[in-house]
Amino acid sequence: MVEKVIIIGSGPAGYTAAIYAVRDNLDPLLIRGFQPGGQLMLTSNVENYPGFPSILGQDLMEDMYKHVKGLNCRVIDDDVTKVDLNIYPYKVWISEVEYETKSIIIATGASAKWLGLKNEQKLVGKGVSGCAICDGFFFKGKDVAVIGGGDSAMEDASYLSSLAKSVLLIHRRSEFKASKIMQERVLSNPKIKIMWDTEVIDVLGNNKLSGIRTKNNKTDETIDLKIDGLFIAIGHSPNTFLFKEQLDLDEMGYIKTHDFTKTSKLGVFAAGDVQDRHYKQAVIAAGWGSMAAIDCREFLTTKI
């Protein structure tokens, strides 16, 4: 049996693509992966998704999944291990099981880069965040820190300065790599203090973030700082390892798309954070998912 469309990945983009594809009678096969739900599974309250004044990220993903299942969409909770986009129909493998498909929607997302500290992951959603726009609201009038030196860190620090009492921007080097205009915006902001040549070597707290331990790279001096929120802004890694050398990727590894969701392979579409370097928002990923399904439907009208 050759599938009409296989959707790889869950989260807002994958789930929305599945909903649209089912409603268009495309009988999609959704492969969610072992850890479905995307980055929202690491987010506490979501308060910027229309229709939900406040909802846990995990609950929002569960509601989307129930919507998909309620439409009798076929779902596999396993990881895709290999794809072949050089032969048509395309081939997708889960371990040794091979599937053939006329089209693919890739919604594998991107993963925030973390510091790799032992206590860091334990406190994600409990004071530690990889998304300032998602979680900044919860730190109104509080003291927060941002780690990074690129444009993302500058954007996060600037945004948080409009909400937080104070923002401490920590960078391991003596100069930023961000664009000049972004640097000037941060350096001229009285609410943002810079710690140069400094790394965070420990995240403090048990069930809630209480502070951080920093080390100066030039003096080796360590300092414990009390903060309410820690935002990691050292970049994201798109989950595109399956598609390297088979699809056109940009210099950061994101899938290149044209005419909205079309990739370099006919009948292969990409949606959400796997191709969106900038916004990283659930509602936008969902929009990309709907566009991918519509583009896929239009493609399949010539193939079915």
- Count CA within 13 A, CB hemisphere, residue 233: 35
Domain end marker among 217, 232, 247 = 232
What does the pLDDT average to over 135-163?
94
Residue 211 sits in the same domain as residue 264: no
Count of domains observed in the chain: 2
Closest among 297, 301, 303 to 7, alpha carbons compared: 297
Do 153 and 244 fall within a single domain? no
Annotated catalytic residue within 73, 135, 228, 276:
135
Give me the residues paired with residue 94 across strands: 97
Is the pLDDT assigned to residue 44 strictly greater than 70?
Answer: no
**Above 70 in pLDDT, residue 33?**
yes
Residue 304 pLDDT > 70, yes or no? no
Amino acid identity at 29: L
Q: Does residue 98 sit in the same domain as residue 185?
A: no
Strand partners, 256: none
User: Is 134 annotated as catalytic?
Assistant: yes
Q: Which domain holds residue 279?
A: 2-111+236-300
* pLDDT for the residue numbered 57: 86
The pLDDT of residue 38: 78
Answer yes or no: do 185 and 216 share one domain. yes
Q: Are residues 244 and 162 in the same domain?
A: no
CA neighbor of 295 nearest in space, from 72, 2, 90, 26: 26
Per DSSP bridges, beta strands 29-31 and 6-8 are: parallel
Of 206, 232, 258, which closes a domain? 232
- Give the pair of three-digit tokens for residue 262: 């079309």
Q: Are residues 227 and 241 in the same domain?
A: no
Is 296 part of the annotated catalytic residue set? no
Catalytic residue among 73, 134, 295, 296: 134
d(CA 96, CA 189): 56
Catalytically annotated residue among 63, 73, 79, 131: 131
Which CATH number characterizes residue 16's domain?
Answer: 3.50.50.60
